[in-house]
Amino acid sequence: MTEEVFINPEQSALVVIDMQKDFCYEDGALFMGEGVEEIILRIRGLIEKAARKKVHLIFTQDWHSLDDEEFEVWGRHCVRDTRGAEIIDELLPFSKEAYVVKKQKYSAFFGTNLDLHLKEKGIKRLIIAGVATNICVLHTAIDASLRGYEIIVPEDCVAALSDYEQEYGLQHIKSVLKGTITSTSTIVF
Ligand code: ZN
């Protein structure tokens, strides 16, 4: 895990998944726990590091209508145009510079124009950060992999509700999708 991972900045995008108030703040509707508080500053650092090499930046926002069927599983969260659906204050300035994808399902590819956008930009690999490792990060990674993108996940920039969920999300990305699991400090653009 200490080996450096060299990433060509020109064909890469940093995808920051669902860093929204409902998931990241203690008073949020679906707070991910302490793990998410720890990744906020690291994601900020990674964004800054990527920006210096002009790596394309994408933010996703979970974005539901008031009666979304997903609430049967998770309860109400990230209702569109509410405070809980906002990007967290710590990352908001960066999201203003990013391409923002609003998504209704776990995968950022489902029902969005993300794939078309990435192809127009000539992107071939995605560095994926955010929450939750086993839900929207994993489903987005799976959809990206099916579409031929290379996947890199810095494990210190993703979080889940439990250690078990964190582990199986990363394990799936590594062993089934053949993604690269690394850490922020070993990524070199
Ligand atoms: Zn949701």
pLDDT of residue 89: 98
155-181: pLDDT as tens digits? 999 999 999 999 999 999 999 999 999
Peptide linkage before 159 cis (omega within 30 of 0): no
How far is the first Cα of the chain from the last one, in angstroms, to the nearest whole number? 17
Residue 21 clears pLDDT 90, i.e. is over it: yes
Residues 6 or more apart whose Cβ sits within 8 Å of residue 23: 30, 31, 32, 36, 62, 77, 78, 131, 132
Q: What's the gap in Å between 173 CA and the centre of ligand 1?
A: 21
Q: What's the gap in Å between 75 CA and the centre of ligand 1?
A: 9
Residue 38: its H or E element: helix 34-52
Three-class secondary structure assignment of 4-23: CEECCHHHEEEEEECCEHHH
Q: What's the gap in Å between 61 CA and the centre of ligand 1?
A: 9
pLDDT of residue 32: 95
Q: What's the gap in Å between 85 CA and the centre of ligand 1?
A: 10
pLDDT of residue 35: 92
pLDDT of residue 3: 83
b or e along 62-92 (b: 16 or more beta carbons within 10 Å of the residue's beta carbon)? bbbeeebebbeeeebbbbeeeebbbbbeebe
- Pull the structure tokens for residue 68: 């979304």
Please give the DSSP secondary-structure letter assigned to residue 75: -
Q: Sketch the domain layout of the chain as residue ranges.
A: 5-188
* pTM of the predicted structure, to 2 decimals: 0.97
Q: What's the gap in Å between 138 CA and the centre of ligand 1?
A: 14
Please report, rounded to a whole number, the percentage of residues in the chain having pLDDT higher than 90.
96
Please give the DSSP secondary-structure letter assigned to residue 64: B
Q: What's the gap in Å between 18 CA and the centre of ligand 1?
A: 9
Mean pLDDT across the stretch 49-54? 97
Q: What's the gap in Å between 43 CA and the centre of ligand 1?
A: 21
pLDDT of residue 57: 98
Residue 105 clears pLDDT 90, i.e. is over it: yes
pLDDT of residue 2: 66
Mean pLDDT across the stretch 96-109? 97
108-147: pLDDT as tens digits? 999 999 999 999 999 999 999 999 999 999 999 999 999 9
Report the distance separating Cα 74 and Cα 134, nearest Å.
Answer: 14
Which ranges of 53-137 does DSSP label H, i.e. alpha helix?
71-74, 92-95, 114-120
The domain 5-188: what is its CATH number? 3.40.50.850
Q: What is the mean pLDDT of the chain?
A: 97
Q: What's the gap in Å between 170 CA and the centre of ligand 1?
A: 20
Mean pLDDT across the stretch 64-78? 97
Residue 1 clears pLDDT 70, i.e. is over it: no
Q: What's the gap in Å between 187 CA and the centre of ligand 1?
A: 29
